Structure formats: C-alpha cells, structure tokens
C-alpha cells in the first residue's frame, strides 16, 4: 500500500498524515474540516501529486445536486436532435454524460476524488450520496447500465462547517480537523513557498502575524494564504526588516475588514 | 476487546455507532495504529469522533479509560522494570537543562524518545539523557523536566504533555458561548420549506417540463411545482436593560445573527424590560413613543409565528405575580398573565437565557423557575440554541 508522507509543496502535520493514510487503507472517505486558509483543498492536490495519481475535483455550489455528480441525461439535446433528424437519437447512451463521480468510477486507474466544500450544497446532498460512496456504484435507469468503480477512488471531502453534515454520512467518514498551524509549522510552510527567504524577515513576519491573530478585537483573523501574500508584498516593496513589527506595512493584505484595520491601528504599539 | 471504552464514550455523550466501532476494529486489525499508543489515540479519534466540538469530550474519556495504560506497546517490560523505583532519591535540578527542555517541541521529544528506546541497554537514573527516573531528561518518571513524556510510574508533577492530557480542544466545545457566525449557522436550522407544507403548485418547473415533454415524444407537457421558500416567521422578544446589560454583547451578537440570517419569511423584533407587561417597545432604549400595546401584538401577529424570548428571567417577584393597579379592557392583568397569553396564542415558543439559574436568593429563583415551567428554556449557547430551534420546528 502506498503511503502519503507530505509533498514538496505541502507541509502536513503528523496527525494529518496519519488520518490520510488511515482513510486510504480503510477505503473510507476522508472528511477534512478546519479554519479557512488552512490548506484543506491543497491537501488533495498534494496527495495526488505524492502518489502520482490523477486528481478529479468536484466543486460543490449551493445549487449542486447529488445527481449532477453521477450523470446527466441531456434530454434537451435529444429532443433537439430528434426534431432535426439527427443520427442515433434512439441511442440514449449517447445523451448520458457522466459527472465527476462517474468519471472517477470509470477511470482506468485509481484516482483521487476531491469533493470540495460539501457543506455549500443543500442539507440533503450528503445523504443522497451515501450509497454511491459506500458501494462505489450507481445505476442509470435510462440505459439500464450500472456504473461500478473499476478502482476505488480515494475520496477526500472538505467542509467549512457552514451546515451540519448528517450523522449517517459522518459515520462512514474518517474525520480530521486541521488546526491552525503553530509558529514552527507555519515557518516550515512559508519556507516551502519562499525557499530563500531571509531568516530575520521570516522571524519578524511571524511575530507580527501571530500577535495580530491573538488580538481579541480582530474579527476576521488572517490565515495562511494571507501571510504568503503579505510576504510577497513585503518583498516586492523592499520594506526594511526592522519596520515590519513596528509599523505593519501593507496591512490591507492581512486584514480585509475596515473595522479590523482600525482596531489594529488603535491597539498596536 | 475493550468494549467498555465504547460504552464509556457513549455515556459521555459521543454518539459512536457500531459502524464506526467496527471500522476501528478493522483498522486495528490492519495495524494502522502503528503499534504505538499515540497512533492508537489518533486512530480512535479520527474514526470515532466526527466533529471538533467533541474532541474535548473524547480526550477526557480517552484519558479516563486509558490512564492506567502507560505506553504498553511502545516500551519493553525490561525498561518498565528499570523505571519502577518510586522511592529513590531525586537527582540534581539543572536549570540550563530545564530551559533547554522547554524549547523542545513535542515532535522532537517524540523522535528522541523513539531513538532512546532502541539505544538504551541498561538502567539510567537521575540523568539528563536516558529514559530514567528522578532526572532531568525529557522521558521517564518522577523527573524534574518541565516538559516530557511520562514512561511508567505515576503522574506526580503533572508536567507530562502527552496528547490527550492537554485538552487543546476545549475551545471548540459546544457549550461555549458563541460568535455571530455560529449563531447564524444555528438559526439556519430554523427553516421549513414550503415543499413540506401544502401550497398550490404555482411555480413553472423547467426541468420536469423538458423531461416530460421529451419523454412524451416532443409533445409539450407543462409541469408546475410548489414554490420553495422558507415559511418560518419569527417574533423575537428581547429583554433590555437592568440585569441584561451584563449580557449586552451576547445579545447584540444574537440580534445581528438573527437579522443577518435573512431567510425568514418575516421577522419582528420587540423589546421589553424584565417581563412584557402591557407594552412592547420597538427599540432597545424602551422609548415610550415607540411602544405597542401587547394586546395589539397578540391580535395582529398570527399564531404561526415562532416566538423567541431572550432574557435572564430574573426580576422581583412582584413584577411577575402582582396584578397591575389599572387594567384596560382586554389588556393583561399581570406579568405572568401576559406571558400566559403569549403561550395560549403561539404554539411554538422558546425562552433563551444568557444566564444561569441563580444559586442564591429565593426572590430571583422564583421568577426563573416560574418562567422555566411556563416555556421551554434553553441556555444561550450553540448547543442550547440548536436545541431551541429544534423545539421551534417540532410539529
């Protein structure tokens, strides 16, 4: 069995690695929750890269239905074709197109399937997928065909906890909560993005960053993607290292709300 | 194997099902715990716990159950024998070593521990390198290092940092008081799509029209569906001023959450002080120029509204029980009478309480208990709010 040990571009904590491997061995979906910006979506990419497997991403929106992931029967096209005398209108299979889940099932080799932000969809959405994820097969009544997974895909599901997921669904998943990285892990993560960043600059950036995160007045705390952007801005602007903690330049990159910026300016010494 | 653990988890409020338990057994069978106690802890957690809110409860239960099992699989019996000398004298305290130990991360200690286990061939005590007792190294027992792993022996100074002991997830517990977003999520539960309610099919259904037309060999077949929108109407009544000032920010958070949720068909918010008597106010300053008689509210706001009272239910008993000196025709006769009228008119009422039941003074508990008996009362926390929303939706 292949094992995931993190990748060049993704720094994962020990716990996360364990959870990912447990999910793969047990062939259960891995459900990832965590603060925004802790790299939930990136994880699937990293796993796909590390195991050298194809990644199929199914982005969930508020209008997504479970059916969309299985297959779509394009009745309109068929109607259209039939009225203009197109070829092969009798062949329903021609009008059945597989969704992302169907694509993952029919792939010739094992793939990674990322169901991104499952909580965006309707409350019933996860329940509608129970059978399919459990048995890794679904039936297309229009053609009488049953699509069965040739190779069980590795399923990774992310959630921002906007909606509660149903118990029946949760019971089938391996769960992992990504904590916000501590200073050391964050340093490592930054290093991955900026391999030759000056150590002094990094220290200063981390100090300022974690001080900002600890301020109770800040409503929307900056996350990993913000610190990366910030370093980029600092590098680009050529800000002197000793000014970073003192003045927090380019604050707009870190804080996205006006009241947060005001609160910080008022309390920063 | 250790089914007791399953029942202990369930007793402590974690809804672990048989499916999950069997998955754990399978995982253990496959050696996924990597023959270590830490691995076992992670394995249990990611298979048995499905929400970070339950991590804390899990940690406590885990600790409770496995306390007496100090890393059995990790440490050889021989080493445990070396370490079993509880009454030996202490080694010397080394301040430099203590500082150094404190800088080590959990992962580093873990790695060092793994190395030592393979290297160590004999008993070493009072030192700063080997796994031993009464020393300065980061493993062993009865030691003086500020951080480290306890191996064998009994906990004494409580400085061992082992994972489950840290309770890092305390902040996620659901009985924590909440922020706007969490409240909003809770309010989202309060919805009832009219798909469930009987309404005429008035909305043009594009998908099914196309499908049925196509299936009808191209002859148009029009289909309609029931409109899908939230039918819940909410009447929010908030206590303002007095003892409620203390909960000011909590109530304003709640207010923002309710008004931002925006998916109610209708939302009406009125204020009162301690108990609605004959009037409700339109703003929290309780300005008498913007007041409405309770009787008007009762007769004009339909019974299908779901009523949420927010207040600490603490006041002087006379405010609740004594009849008003002057009673206009059709107006309530006392505070309690007013609340009863609400109860008679509205089927779905909950009372959210930001405070706890007072522990002293009969006067305060009397009104609290009376209201508690009258309406289902829930604490104003994430868990309480969710329970309350469920109550409001119950048919």
Instruction: Check whether A144 has a pLDDT greater than 60.
Output: yes
CB within 8 Å: A33 and B52: yes
Assess: ipTM above 0.85. Answer: no
B185–chain A Cβ distance below 8 A for any pair: yes
Give A176's contacts in chain B (Cβ within 8 Å).
46
A144 backbone φψ class: left, alpha, beta (φ>0; ψ -120 to 50)? left
Spatial CB neighbours of A74, under 8 Å, sequence gap ≥ 6:
A95, A96, A97
With beta carbons under 8 A apart, name residues in chain B contacting A167.
15, 17, 50
Indicate whether A4 belongs to any domain: no
The reply to whether A162 and A200 lie within a common domain is: no
Residue with structure tokens 């009225």? A83
Q: Is residue A7 part of a domain?
A: no
A188 in the same domain as A127: no
Same domain, A39 and A89: yes
For residue A260, being part of any structural domain is answered with yes
The answer to whether residue A251 is domain-embedded is yes
Instruction: Print the domain residue range for A251.
Output: 183-267
Interface test with A, best of B22, B27, B44, B47 (most A CBs within 10 A): B47
H-helix segments, B301-334: 317-321
Please check whether residue B211 touches A, CB under 8 A.
Answer: yes
For the segment B337-361, the average pLDDT, to the nearest whole number, is: 84
Q: A75 and B214 in contact by Cβ < 8 A?
A: yes
pLDDT at B226: 74
Non-local (6+) Cβ contacts of A16 within 8 A are A43, A176, A178
* Cβ separation A83–B218 shorter than 8 A: yes
Instruction: Supply the angle between the helices B37-48 and B55-66 in degrees, to the nearest 10.
Output: 140
> Domain of A50: which CATH number?
3.40.50.300
Q: What is the pLDDT of residue B301?
A: 87
**Looking at the structure, do residues A64 and A117 belong to the same domain, yes or no?**
yes
Residues ≥6 apart with Cβ < 8 Å to A115: A29, A58, A60, A69, A155, A156, A157, A158
| One-character DSSP codes across A115-139 | EE-GGGS-TTHHHHTHHHHHHSEEE
- The answer to whether residue B188 neighbours chain A at the CB level (below 8 Å) is yes
DSSP B325: S
Judge whether residue B138 has pLDDT over 70: no
Nearest by CB to residue B185, choosing from A162, A167, A173, is A162
Tally the domains of chain A.
2
Does residue A136 sit in the same domain as residue A39? yes
- The domain boundary, picked from A133, A153, A178, lies at A178
Q: Identify each DSSP E strand in chain A by its residue range.
A: 30-34, 55-59, 71-73, 96-98, 112-116, 137-140, 145-148, 154-159, 174-178
Which of residues A123 and A58 earns the better pLDDT score? Answer: A58
* Nearest residue of chain A to residue B32 (CA atoms): A22
Residue A165: its chain B contacts at CB < 8 A?
Answer: 50
Q: Give yes or no: residues A29 and A93 share one domain.
A: yes
What's the CA gap between B269 and B258, in Å, rounded?
Answer: 10
Which pLDDT value is given to residue A248? 83
Q: Do A177 and B43 touch (CB under 8 A)?
A: no
Contact A171, B17 (CB under 8 A): yes
Q: A176 and chain B: CB distance < 8 Å anywhere?
A: yes
Span B49-65, average pLDDT:
81
pLDDT tens digits for A15-58? Answer: 788 888 888 888 889 999 887 777 788 888 888 888 888 999 99
Please answer yes or no on whether A18 and B51 come within 8 Å at the CB atom.
no
Final residue of a domain: which of A178, A201, A235?
A178
Test B47 with A172 for CB contact under 8 angstroms: no
Q: Which residues of B touch A75 (CB under 8 A)?
A: 210-211, 214-215
Strand order in the sheet with A174-178: A55-59, A112-116, A154-159, A30-34, A174-178
Percent residues over pLDDT 90 in chain A: 9
User: Could B32 and A33 be called an inter-chain contact, meaning their C-beta atoms sit closer than 8 Å?
Assistant: no
Domain's final residue, options A178, A199, A222: A178
Residue A9 lies in a domain: no
| Closest-CA distance of chain B to residue A238, Å | 32
Please tell me whether residues A167 and A211 are part of one structural domain.
no
Mean pLDDT, chain A, whole residue set? 83
Cα distances (angstroms) measured from residue A246 to each of A206, A230, A265, B270: 13, 15, 11, 47
Q: Do A146 and A102 have their domain in common?
A: yes
- The C-alpha atoms of residue B61 and residue B49 are separated, in whole angstroms, by 12
Which candidate from B42, B107, B215 shows the least CB-CB separation from A18?
B42
Same domain for A88 and A19, yes or no, is yes
- Range with the poorest average pLDDT among A180-184, A188-192, B165-169, B300-304: B165-169
* Same domain? A122 vs A174: yes
Residue B308 is encoded by which pair of tokens?
Answer: 């949420």
Which pLDDT belongs to residue B160?
41
In-domain check, residue A1: no
**In chain B, which residue's Cα lies nearest the Cα of A19?**
B46
**Res A57: pLDDT:** 92
Range A74-79 contact pairs with CB under 8 angstroms and sequence separation of 24 or more: A75/B210, A75/B211, A75/B214, A75/B215, A76/B210, A76/B214, A78/B214, A79/B210, A79/B213, A79/B214, A79/B218
Name which of A23, A76, A79 to mutate to probe chain B: the one with the most chain B Cβ atoms within 10 A of its Cβ. Answer: A79
Same-domain status, A108 and A211: no
Residue B387 has pLDDT above 80, yes or no: yes
Do A20 and A36 lie in one domain? The reply is yes
């Amino acid at each position: 069995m292949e094992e995931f040990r993190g990748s060049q571009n993704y720094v994962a904590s020990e716990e996360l690695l364990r959870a990912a491997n447990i999910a793969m061995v047990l062939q259960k979906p891995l459900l990832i929750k965590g603060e925004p910006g802790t790299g939930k979506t990136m994880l699937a990419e990293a796993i796909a890269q590390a195991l050298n497997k194809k990644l199929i991403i199914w982005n969930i929106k508020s209008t997504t239905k479970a059916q969309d992931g299985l297959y779509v029967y394009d009745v309109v096209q068929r109607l259209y074709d039939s009225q203009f005398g197109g070829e092969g209108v009798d062949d329903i299979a021609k009008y059945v197109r597989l969704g992302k889940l169907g694509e993952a099932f029919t792939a010739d080799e094992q793939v990674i399937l990322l169901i991104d932000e499952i909580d965006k969809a309707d409350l019933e959405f996860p329940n509608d997928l129970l059978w399919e994820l459990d048995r890794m097969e679904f039936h297309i009544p229009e053609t009488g065909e049953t699509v069965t997974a040739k190779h069980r895909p590795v399923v990774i599901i992310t959630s921002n906890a906007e909606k509660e997921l149903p118990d029946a669904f949760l019971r089938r998943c391996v769960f992992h909560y990504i904590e916000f990285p501590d200073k050391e892990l964050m340093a490592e993560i930054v290093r991955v993005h900026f391999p030759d960043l000056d150590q002094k600059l990094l220290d200063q950036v981390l100090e300022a960053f974690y001080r900002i995160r600890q301020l109770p007045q800040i409503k929307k705390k900056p996350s990993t993607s913000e610190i990366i952007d910030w370093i980029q801005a600092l590098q680009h602007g050529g800000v002197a290292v000793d000014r970073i903690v003192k003045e927090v330049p380019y604050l707009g990159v870190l804080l996205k709300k006006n009241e947060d910026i005001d609160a910080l300016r008022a309390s920063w010494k | 194997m250790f089914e007791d653990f399953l029942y202990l988890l369930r007793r402590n409020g974690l809804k672990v099902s048989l499916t999950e338990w069997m998955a754990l057994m399978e995982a253990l069978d496959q050696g996924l715990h990597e023959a270590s106690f830490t691995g076992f802890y992670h394995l249990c957690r990611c298979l048995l716990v499905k929400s970070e809110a339950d991590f804390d409860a899990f940690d406590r239960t885990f600790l409770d159950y496995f306390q007496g099992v100090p890393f059995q699989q990790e440490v050889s019996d021989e080493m445990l024998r070396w370490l079993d000398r509880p009454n030996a004298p202490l080694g010397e305290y080394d301040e430099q070593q203590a500082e150094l130990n404190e800088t080590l991360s959990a992962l580093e200690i873990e790695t060092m521990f793994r190395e030592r286990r393979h290297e160590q061939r004999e008993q070493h005590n009072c030192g700063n390198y080997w796994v031993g007792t009464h020393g300065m190294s980061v493993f062993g027992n009865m030691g003086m290092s500020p951080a480290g792993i306890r191996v064998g022996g009994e906990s004494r100074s409580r400085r061992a940092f082992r994972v489950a002991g840290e309770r890092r997830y305390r902040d996620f517990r659901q009985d924590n008081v909440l922020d706007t977003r969490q409240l909003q999520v809770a309010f989202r539960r309060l919805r009832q799509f009219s798909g469930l309610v009987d309404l005429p099919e008035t909305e043009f259904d594009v998908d099914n029209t196309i499908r049925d037309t196509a299936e009808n060999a191209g002859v148009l077949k029009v289909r309609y569906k029931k409109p899908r929108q939230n039918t819940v109407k909410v009447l929010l009544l908030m206590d303002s001023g007095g003892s409620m000032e203390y909960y000011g920010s909590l109530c304003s958070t709640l207010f923002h959450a309710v008004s931002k949720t925006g998916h109610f068909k209708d939302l009406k918010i009125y204020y009162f002080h301690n108990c609605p008597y004959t009037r409700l106010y339109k703003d929290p300053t309780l300005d008498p120029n913007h007041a409405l008689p309770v009787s008007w509210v009762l007769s004009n706001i339909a019974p299908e509204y779901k009523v949420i009272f927010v207040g600490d239910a603490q006041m002087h008993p006379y405010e609740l029980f004594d009849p008003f000196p002057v009673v206009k025709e059709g107006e309530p006769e006392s505070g309690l009478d007013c609340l009863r009228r609400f109860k008679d008119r509205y089927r779905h009422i909950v009372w959210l309480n930001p405070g706890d039941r007072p522990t002293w003074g009969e006067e305060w508990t009397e009104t609290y208990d009376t209201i508690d008996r009258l309406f289902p009362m829930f604490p104003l926390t994430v868990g309480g709010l969710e329970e309350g929303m469920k109550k409001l939706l119950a048919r």
